[in-house]
Amino acid sequence: MRVGLLTGGGDVPGLNAAIRAVVKRGEGEHGHSIVGFRNGWRGVVDGDVMPLTRQHIRNVLPVGGTLLGTARYHPKASDGSLDAVMQTLEAERIEALICIGGDGTLHAASKVAEAGVKIVAIPKTIDNDVWGTDRSIGFDTAVTIATEAIDRVHTTAESHNRVMIVEVMGRHAGWIAVTSAIAGGAEVVLTPEEPFDIDKVIRFLKHRHRAHASFSIVVVAEGAVPAEGTSMSYEAPVGKFGEIVAGAIGERVKAEIEQRTGFDTRVTVLGHVQRGGIPTPEDRILGSRFGVAAIDAITRGESGVMTALRGEDVVLTPLTEIAGKVKHVPASLIQVAQALA
């Protein structure tokens, strides 16, 4: 069988582990030919293909990013790009497609599957907000990086008696913020799940600094917003491509804290550092497990499904059930972070 493979959306560490697993298992065990599409759905629309053999995946396991390249681009029926997808798949004699991506890529995969293409998807995003799976590839590495950053900021916060704000990624969900705040022992965590009341944050910091501490760590997810009707005004700015403007909420919270407490405050915006570099063993293992599960599913003739981690098991879940939904951080996990503040 000729099987196409693409990685779409923002890159994450662990993608190469998934690519490697698809190629090794697909070529070795099942005797398939694997064809890579460069730069996500863009490569399918443009017919930008590359062969993927064992030679191409040598030594890629510890390497971050994606050897296929990626793009934030999704084909649509309205501009003819969905037709272009079908033409390329026919021209390249692709019998099935494996798509590795986050919400946008998976949504497009669901549409292409509806059009009759055999598709199995694999979830990846450092935000860990893909519905239907306990974990997505890249999350563990991002939390590891964010936790290390909090540890490092801790010592300098203490030395200088400062409030340190650490802004982490997470547009729609605060998974990185909450888990790294717990792991790094932060005092305050602000998430998209629970719009915050800055008055409460200020009261808490003043009390803490009066009672027993001279420094504090505040972790802010980039998608955090103040609750309606509270005293802080904030209109989240949007970038040229519709992206969140890194540092915006962090700087806004800093201004408020400094003005209302007088505490010396600094902001560290982790940004794309969270998406770069060496994947953790956890992400290499998850990428490998999802890759094997995806190519095995394709071989069995499955379609319109996504590999998902549920507890200890990798299962398949229908793509139609996950597209357009956000997996939020449960209140019980946010409460742990708050209980330890």
Note whether 102 binds ligand F6P by CB under 6 A.
yes
Q: Residue 14's closest CA among 246, 315, 290?
A: 290
- Is residue 140 within the footprint of ligand F6P (CB under 6 A)? no
Closest residue by beta carbon to ligand F6P: 169
Distance in angstroms between the alpha carbons of the first and the last residue of the chain: 55
CB of 276 to ligand F6P, least distance (A): 11
- Min. distance of Cβ 268 from ligand F6P in angstroms? 16
Residue with smaller CB distance to ligand F6P, 13 or 102: 102
Question: Is 274 a known ligand-binding residue?
Answer: yes
Give the whole-angstrom CA distance, residue 182 versus residue 176.
Answer: 10
Q: Choose which of 21, 137, 169, 186 interacts with ligand F6P (CB under 6 A).
A: 169
Cβ contacts of 27 within 8 Å, gap of 6 or more: 33, 34, 53, 54
Q: How far apart are CA 246 and CA 44, in angstroms?
A: 30
* Min dist. Cβ of residue 269 to ligand F6P (A): 12
Cross-strand partners of 318 = 305
Q: What's the rounded Cα separation, in Å, for the pair 185 and 2?
A: 49
- Which of the stretches 52-60, 61-69, 80-88, 124-132 binds ligand F6P when contact is defined by CB under 6 A? 124-132
Window contacting ligand F6P (CB under 6 A); options: 121-129, 187-195, 226-234, 327-335: 121-129
- 134 belongs to an annotated ligand binding site: no
Selected binder of ligand F6P within 8, 43, 132, 170 (CB under 6 A): 170
Binding of residue 34 to ligand F6P (CB under 6 A):
no
* Annotated active-site residue in 11, 48, 127, 134: 127
Binding of residue 304 to ligand F6P (CB under 6 A) = no
- Binding residues for ligand F6P, total number by CB under 6 A: 13
Q: Which residues contact 52 (CB under 8 A, 6 or more apart)?
A: 5, 19, 22, 23, 34, 35, 36
Question: Which position among 8, 10, 69, 184 is part of the footprint of ligand F6P (CB under 6 A)?
Answer: 10
Q: Is 222 annotated as a binding residue?
A: yes
**Would you mind telling me the total number of residues written for the chain in this entry?**
341
Min dist CB 177 to ligand F6P, Å, is 11
Contact indicator for 11, 66 with CB cutoff of 8 Å: yes
| 101 contributes a contact to ligand F6P by CB under 6 A | no
Question: Contact between 178 and ligand F6P (CB under 6 A)?
Answer: no
**Cβ–Cβ under 8 Å, residues 151 and 121:** no
Tokens 């547009």 label which residue?
171
The values of phi and psi at residue 232, to 5°, are -100, 125
* DSSP β-ladder status, 216-221 and 163-168: parallel
**Nearest residue to 310 (alpha-carbon basis) of 323, 324, 331, 327:** 327
> Of 34, 244, 294, 337, which lies in the binding site for ligand F6P, with binding defined by CB under 6 A?
244
Annotated binding residue at 126? yes
Is residue 46 annotated as a catalytic residue, yes or no? no
HSE of 226 in the Cβ direction (CA atoms, 13 Å)? 20
Tokens representing 15 are 């993608």
- Applying CB under 6 A, which residues contact ligand F6P? 10, 72, 102, 125-127, 169-171, 222, 243-244, 275
Could you list the active site residues? 127
Pick out the residues of the known binding site for ATP.
10, 72-73, 102-105
Pick out the residues of the known binding site for Mg(2+).
103
